[in-house]
Structure 1
Amino acid sequence: MRPFRFAAVLRSAASGREWAAKARRLEDSGYGALYVPDHLVGPRFAPLAAMTAAACATSTLRVGTLVFANDYRHPAVLAKEAASLDVLSDGRLEFGLGTGWMAQDYHRAGLPLDPPGTRVDRLVEAIAVMRGLWRGGPFSFAGEHYTIDALEQEPPPVQRPGPPLLLGSGGPRMLRLAAREADIVNLTLRVRADGTGPDTGDGGPDAFARKIDIVREAAGDRFAAIELGTSILQVGAPRDAASWSAAAPAAQAGTPQILAGGPAEMADRLRHWRETLGLTHFVLHHETDLDAFAPVVAELAAI
């Protein structure tokens, strides 16, 4: 049985010193990773700069994204940036990647929001491009969306054959892609095709369990190698809906994304989800929950 591993999403700080202190707090509290989101609107740092600063302020904390939006950067550019960060962090990068989905990002930046199928097709090619470049040596690729002509990028990532790939997955096609390609799968609600938010009709414990069944079936023999997890949207007492970039907690009542009660009850629930669903990687989604969740991390991290 895999040990528990915890990460937390942080978005911003008033200064570089405050950001570094936040990163060190996570490291000292037993978290394994700091994740940053990737949106063009809203109060949040750009992910590459934020991850680099967090890595420089810590020595063991891993840094990652939840998740890079593939549509915002050409994969050859992102592969180069990721490899550089992996070297500079001594191999502590966790590479979260998704299609990009939030309509506000696209519309306000003047970017075309293609249909979901097109965005997933592009993501499939991007994964192939980045992994090909990370392997080292001249790499060529001819796809519908990207063409690479004998490109060689140096230095390669420290982690071989590349940083672990995290895919956030809610809909069946993304779940199957994650089953084939991801090292870490973060289970989410399916996103509405128009990019206006998560599809709350996809919520609840039965739908959550079906997602794991899809991953298991599509992964086949490699299922045991996948680190399976989800984001914790709410801990402790119930409260109103989450921020506009995240799922509404009410839609996920009864799933591992909602943890009610005190620290002992929350720890028991996480043990239950590990034993029954195989979930071991939990991402705290709101910084305001750090204090309430700290005893749970202290009790369960790495066991």
Structure 2
Amino acid sequence: MRTEIGLGLQSDKPAGTYARLARAAEDAGFDVLSVFGDLMYQPPIFPLLEMAAATGRVRLGPACLNPYSMAPYEIAGQVAALDLASRGRAYLGLARGTWLGAVGLPQPRPLVALTEAVEVVRRLLRGDSDGYAGRMFALAPGTTLRYDRYRPDPPLLIGAWGPRGAALAGRVADEIKVGGSANPDMVPVIRSRVGNDDVGIVLGAVTVVDTDGEAARAKARTEVVMYLAVVAGLDPTVTLPDGLVAAVTRLVGRGAHEAAGRLIPDEVLDRFAFSGTPAQVAAQAQALIDAGVRRVEFGTPHGLTDDRGVELLGSAVLPLLSR
């Protein structure tokens, strides 16, 4: 099966920017466009609908929504709207969510929440009127969506790193995304945890590409520090220098992101970001392709500027990939 190459966009841009970037990405040959669902950014549905109107081929989806900040019936409605607007090109990404304590949202029983959210969404999209009684979510008998859907079963992606989340993806999903990783050594780990060869593995991370490779890597270091403390401890294949996460966390807390980035060694950067010249970024992506991923997702900010990054990824990175 041909490996897909996608772009992951942060939802922090003005109206019109998403359409322009989406058209450029589709023209360059990208297969999938994802919009992150990070806390306090624009809801993904806004950029996704804009991109749906501007494209005709690429798959589109949020990566990811969560059942704590959005009820499953609303998740079903948003993916149904995107699927209708894109004429059957939508996918749905679900994850437990991160940093929700900042808005006072507890996250009890995440596996139960995700499992039941999937069940509710699927029943609603399929028009099942039998009702559902879960431990966290329920549908009364006769409760159905009051509008037509384009498809009853858009593809489902689960965002997860750990064994239990991966096993859930193996049972209910079409894909699993390991967010914040560019590490090919994680692919066999995730494959063993998923336990289902039909589920595609997606790896995606911060990406900064430029003909000035050193400038690209310096910017990537600054971008990575925001989530290094979240994901570094989830990767069993990486040994970090003693005290690195604590030092980075302290500096980020003071707003010293560039200073924090300078602490990250090259070998650590290459596990948690795609960065450098087009040849360097292509080599990192090819290592993931060779390891057996179904999709590589180049995450924001893409380059020293959005437009230049997308242009270089399409014109100078994609042609180097064997997939």
Is the structural similarity TM-score above 0.5?
yes
What corresponds to 2:317 in structure 1? 296
> Which of 101, 104, 110 pairs up with 1:110?
104
What corresponds to 2:4 in structure 1? 4
Superposed displacement of residue 281, structure 1:
0.5
User: Secondary structure in 1 aligned to 2:57?
Assistant: coil
What corresponds to 1:22 in structure 2? 21
- The structure that has the greater radius of gyration is 2
Equivalent residue letter for 2:112: D
Equivalent residue letter for 2:313: F
> Which of 238, 253, 260 pairs up with 2:268?
253
| CA spacing shift, 1:110–1:180, aligned 2, 3 Å | same
> Which of 118, 122, 126 pairs up with 1:127?
118
Q: 144-153 or 28-37: which moved more?
A: 28-37
What corresponds to 1:31 in structure 2? 30
Using the alignment, how far apart are the partners of 1:284 and 1:189 within structure 2?
10
Kept after mapping to 1: 8 A contact 2:93/2:156:
yes
What corresponds to 1:49 in structure 2? 46
Cα-to-partner distance string for 1:8-29 (whole Å, 9 max, x where unaligned): 3232223x22332122122222
| CA spacing shift, 1:151–1:257, aligned 2, 3 Å | same
Superposed displacement of residue 226, structure 1:
2.0
> Which of 118, 138, 143 pairs up with 1:151?
143
The TM-score, its normalising length taken from structure 1, stands at 0.78
Cα-to-partner distance string for 1:196-250 (whole Å, 9 max, x where unaligned): xxxxxxx9765554223212xx22xxx1x22212013245543324367644685
What corresponds to 2:244 in structure 1? none
Is residue 2:185 matched to residue 1:214?
Answer: no
Aligned length: 273
Using the alignment, how far apart are the partners of 2:17 and 2:146 within structure 1?
33
Equivalent residue letter for 2:279: A
| CA spacing shift, 1:234–1:163, aligned 2, 3 Å | same
User: Secondary structure in 1 aligned to 2:154?
Assistant: coil
| CA spacing shift, 1:56–1:100, aligned 2, 3 Å | same
| CA spacing shift, 1:55–1:171, aligned 2, 3 Å | same
Using the alignment, how far apart are the partners of 1:12 and 1:189 within structure 2?
18
5+ residue gaps in structure 2? 233-263, 304-308
Please tell me the root mean square deviation across aligned C-alpha atoms, in Å. Answer: 2.9
Kept after mapping to 2: 8 A contact 1:10/1:286:
yes
The TM-score, its normalising length taken from structure 2, stands at 0.74
Using the alignment, how far apart are the partners of 1:258 and 1:49 within structure 2?
26
Superposed displacement of residue 54, structure 1:
1.4
Superposed displacement of residue 265, structure 1:
4.5
User: Secondary structure in 1 aligned to 2:8?
Assistant: strand
Using the alignment, how far apart are the partners of 1:5 and 1:187 within structure 2?
15
Give the percent of matched residue pairs that are identical in Structure 1 and Structure 2.
25
Equivalent residue letter for 1:183: D
User: Secondary structure in 1 aligned to 2:21?
Assistant: helix
